[in-house]
Structure 1
Amino acid sequence: MSVIKHVGLFLVPISVSAIAVAWHLDLLTPETQAVTPEVVVAE
């Protein structure tokens, strides 16, 4: 169980940063709104 807990704690900041990057990219390039569903599915 501790391994799963450590992996979860390791993935939380990665997922948060990925969401932040996708959000900033969406703000910078609003034309790429068609790409956002793929990001949500990959999440």
Structure 2
Amino acid sequence: MRFGQISSEIEEIIGKMTNPTILEELLKLAATANSLAEFKQSLAKINI
């Protein structure tokens, strides 16, 4: 994995998402984020 082990919180949030557009955006963010913290920030904005 790119950022190592992810927290169960992140896994749970993403696991509940069903919108393919948002999931695709998260995939892009995971591939381009400079750090896990940056990805978490983006995830928080999407998961409002």
Q: Which TM-score bucket, shorter chain as reference?
A: 0.3 to 0.5
Q: Give TM-score, length-normalised by structure 2.
A: 0.35
- Greater RCO, CA 8 A, separation 6+: 2
Whose Rg is larger? 1
Q: Give TM-score, length-normalised by structure 1.
A: 0.38
